[in-house]
Amino acid sequence: MRSVSNIVTSALVALFVFFSLLVPAQAQVAFDTGTLAITTQAGKRLEFRVEWAVNAEQRARGLMERTALSDDEGMLFDFGETRMVTMWMANTPLSLDMVFIDEAGLVVRVAEKTTPFSEAIVGSGKPVRYALEIRGGRAAELGLTAGARLVLPLDLPQAKAP
């Protein structure tokens, strides 16, 4: 008998596969862009030019199929509510750092150097509102760890239905 955890994980993977098949090619998913800042625990201010993933279509596409990401670029996923978040790297050729951030702007987890093309689930560990994806290894280079703070409020575009 499979454990409840295995059943839930299998269901999540099935949902990700289903939605990834529905998402059109990257060129067809438009993202607004902006800047965000994070203050590290050491007091260093980090700024990133980001694409905002604020609706379901944008969040499902994410950085799939991207082959380059500069040191100060990323994508911020706004889930519109605080909840447990799971992500994966299917169709993503870049290694990414996933920075999970709660509603108050506190970085609660950094998943470093995720594996390209992996279907393994990367979880937030705690309920979060946002996830920032940046180039793999960049968080360590910058000293970006749990305990850092996202500078709020964000100037996010309104989530639009796809």
- Domain limits, the chain: 4-150
Check residue 3 and give its pLDDT: 59
Low-confidence stretches of the chain (pLDDT < 70) are 1-27, 158-162
CATH superfamily of 4-150: Protein of unknown function DUF192 (2.60.120.1140)
pLDDT at position 10, please? 58
Contact indicator for 85, 123 with CB cutoff of 8 Å: yes
Query: Can you give the pLDDT at residue 9?
Result: 55
pLDDT on residue 29 = 85
What's the confidence (pLDDT) of residue 28? 81
pLDDT of residue 81: 95
Structure tokens at 157: 């575009």
Residue 23: per-residue pLDDT: 47
